[in-house]
């Protein structure tokens, strides 16, 4: 097995690059961290190219690491270079971004969560995890939404990215294709003229759009939805956190 | 108006201390940051002792800062010392911790959220904000739950701490008092033998206990509840984030 000890090694530099948007575009690969996510990627037969781990992590997981995948041992110091967490978990995987991860709206069955310019990686990751738990089929990352390969997004998805379908897409196109197929698409609005979410029963196939943390959904999307939903706010809070609102709505719509 | 320019000033050291648990115990005061929260504290007539702000922030909010409260001007450099955020907002308030913020369970009406050893400050803050939006009366911080005066908790509450009642308490005592008064207390469990949350309709007065992120609710509390609820998980996610679960349950119970 190859062992790398220098933080200046060209492979280390490449792996660091795989935590950035530019690196994802250049190499069509991304980096995942921690046994929870690495293990889930292997279980889900994701296209893992390389497994990277400290000696300690290699020992701990040797029985679960397939021989067919390249393994490289690194030092704790290199592990620190590959993450922005305070205590790196010492195990990483390089995963290929394949064309197969792109889903066309026309073939999309089931419940889909559409993200319109969501910024906060923690919110995005939590929504993916919740969509998984609520039985959603997939999540569409619309333009302006933080990347699904962003390390913080990956961390907070906690492996759910391997249980549901994630894809990038043009939300207008998704919305129109759904509606042509007679599948409803629900928007969300902080507006009492919208429909109370408790009065909606969705079928098996539908879309739910969540909008930007500060600005909400884009107005041009809002006018095209089947219906826009609101969650009645009783107290004095100005709004709900977008991931909380998404959770309440997903468990209401997909019963 | 007093103006402080040295980061070594004794008042600056005290304010820094007011972001720590020891400081809260010693001075019975805590520090809040940012106009959103400072403004909400003033609007709610919280016992604000001192307003601290950079020249720019003083100018921006002069009309909203009451003359009756001491104001101290600080430099940007001091503002940075008082926060762990990357871009400090430059306005702070020293707020007194009063005995009146303690609520006895016997007098507790309405819907109450009880936090059993919740660790993550962001989760706690989000739950307080959501409880406010869901029309809850108050939140009890049980033993082992991060402090409601922790700067990160304060930040993610976004002012909701001034709209609902926050108190520390012994959850066993709260549970027993509620049940003596014939008010139900619902626990939460990741267990299909528990009751499906959709089958519960709560009255106006009840308690809802959320448990530790990793371990869930303490077993000794779980045996004393009126009923334990679970949220059916459809996909392959192992669990829901505790703040998401709390959001789904609070909007179900307090319709």
| pLDDT for res B87 | 85
| Partner-chain contact A130 B237, CB within 8 Å | yes
> Chain A: nearest CA to B11, how far in angstroms?
31
Q: Are B112 and B208 in contact (CB under 8 A)?
A: yes
Fold adopted by A102-253: Alpha/beta knot (3.40.1280)
- Residue A13 to residue B170: CA distance in whole angstroms: 52
- Which chain B residue has its CA at the smallest distance from A157's CA? B237
| Partner-chain contact A132 B255, CB within 8 Å | no
| pLDDT for res A167 | 92
Residue from B69, B88, B76 nearest B19 by CA: B88
| Predicted confidence (pLDDT) per residue in B142-184, tens digit | 999 999 999 999 999 999 999 999 999 999 999 999 999 999 9
Quick one: average pLDDT of B14-18? 96
- Residue B210 to residue B197: CA distance in whole angstroms: 13
Interface of A with B in 113-172 (CB under 8 A): 122, 126, 129-136, 158-160, 163-164
| pLDDT for res B101 | 56
> Chain B: nearest CA to A160, how far in angstroms?
6
Q: Which helix (H) or strand (E) holds B3?
A: strand B2-3
| pLDDT for res A100 | 57
Write out chain A residues lying below 8 Å of B131, CB-based: 235
**How many cross-chain Cβ pairs, A to B, lie less than 8 Å apart?**
96
| Predicted confidence (pLDDT) per residue in B58-107, tens digit | 999 999 999 999 999 999 999 999 998 888 899 999 999 986 556 777 77
> Chain B: nearest CA to A224, how far in angstroms?
27
Among B131, B132, B240, select the one facing A130 at the smallest CB separation. B240
Write out chain A residues lying below 8 Å of B121, CB-based: none
Half-sphere exposure of B237 toward its Cβ, with a 13 Å CA cutoff? 29
B14: left (phi over 0), alpha (psi -120 to 50) or beta: alpha
| Partner-chain contact B233 A133, CB within 8 Å | yes
- Residue A219 to residue B202: CA distance in whole angstroms: 37
What is the C-alpha R_g of chain B? 20
Q: Which helix (H) or strand (E) holds A166?
A: strand A165-168
| Predicted confidence (pLDDT) per residue in B93-119, tens digit | 999 998 655 677 777 789 999 999 999
Q: Where are the domains of chain A?
A: 2-100, 102-253
Tell me the DSSP string of A59-96.
Answer: HHHGGGS-TTSEEEEE-HHHHHHT--SSS--SEEEEEE
How far from chain centre, in Å, is Cα B134?
A: 15
Helices B242-253/A242-253 angle, 10° precision:
60
- Residue B59 to residue B70: CA distance in whole angstroms: 16
Q: Are B74 and B14 in contact (CB under 8 A)?
A: no
Segments of chain A with pLDDT less than 70: 99-102
Half-sphere exposure of A147 toward its Cβ, with a 13 Å CA cutoff? 15
| Predicted confidence (pLDDT) per residue in A123-177, tens digit | 999 999 999 999 999 999 999 999 999 999 999 999 999 999 999 999 999 999 9
The complex scores an ipTM of 0.88
CA distances to A123, A128, A162, A212 from A119, in Å = 8, 14, 21, 7
Q: Do domains A2-100 and A102-253 have the same CATH topology?
A: no
- Residue B184 to residue A108: CA distance in whole angstroms: 43
> Chain A: nearest CA to B1, how far in angstroms?
33
| Mean pLDDT score of chain B | 93
Instruction: Specify which residues B114 forms β-bridges with.
Output: B140, B209
Token pair 């698409």: residue:
A185
In a 3-state reduction of DSSP, which class is residue A241? coil
Q: Does B198 touch chain A (CB under 8 A)?
A: yes
- Residue A172 to residue A151: CA distance in whole angstroms: 27
- Which chain A residue has its CA at the smallest distance from B196's CA? A255
Domain spanning B2-100, CATH architecture: 2-Layer Sandwich (3.30)
Quick one: average pLDDT of B1-15? 96
Quick one: average pLDDT of B208-226? 95
Q: Where are the alpha helices (DSSP H) in A74-233?
A: 76-81, 121-133, 151-157, 171-180, 219-222
pLDDT of residue B244 exceeding 90:
yes
Angle at B165 between CA B200 and CA B163, to 5 degrees: 95
């Amino acid at each position: 097995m190859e062992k790398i000890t220098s933080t200046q090694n060209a492979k280390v530099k490449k792996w660091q690059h795989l935590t950035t948007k530019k690196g994802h575009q250049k190499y069509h690969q991304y980096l995942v961290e921690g046994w929870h996510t690495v293990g889930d990627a292997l279980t889900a037969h994701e296209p893992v190219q390389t497994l990277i781990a400290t000696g300690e992590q290699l020992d701990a997981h040797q029985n679960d690491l397939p021989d067919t995948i390249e393994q490289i041992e690194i030092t704790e110091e290199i592990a620190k270079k590959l993450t922005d967490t305070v205590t790196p978990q010492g195990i990483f995987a390089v995963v290929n971004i394949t064309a197969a991860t792109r889903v066309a709206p026309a073939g999309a069955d089931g419940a889909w969560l559409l993200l319109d310019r969501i910024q906060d990686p923690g919110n995005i990751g939590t929504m993916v995890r919740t969509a998984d738990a609520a039985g959603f089929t997939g999540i569409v990352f619309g333009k302006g939404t933080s990347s699904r390969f962003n390390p913080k997004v990956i961390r907070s998805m906690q492996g759910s990215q391997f249980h549901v379908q994630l894809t990038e897409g043009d939300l207008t196109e998704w919305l129109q294709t759904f509606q042509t197929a007679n599948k409803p698409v629900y928007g969300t609005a902080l507006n009492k003229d919208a429909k109370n979410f408790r009065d909606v029963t969705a079928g098996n196939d539908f879309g739910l759009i969540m909008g930007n943390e500060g600005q909400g959904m884009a107005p041009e999307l809002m006018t095209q939805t089947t219906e826009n939903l609101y969650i009645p706010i009783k107290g004095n809070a100005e709004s709900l956190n977008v991931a909380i609102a998404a959770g309440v709505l997903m468990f209401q719509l997909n019963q």
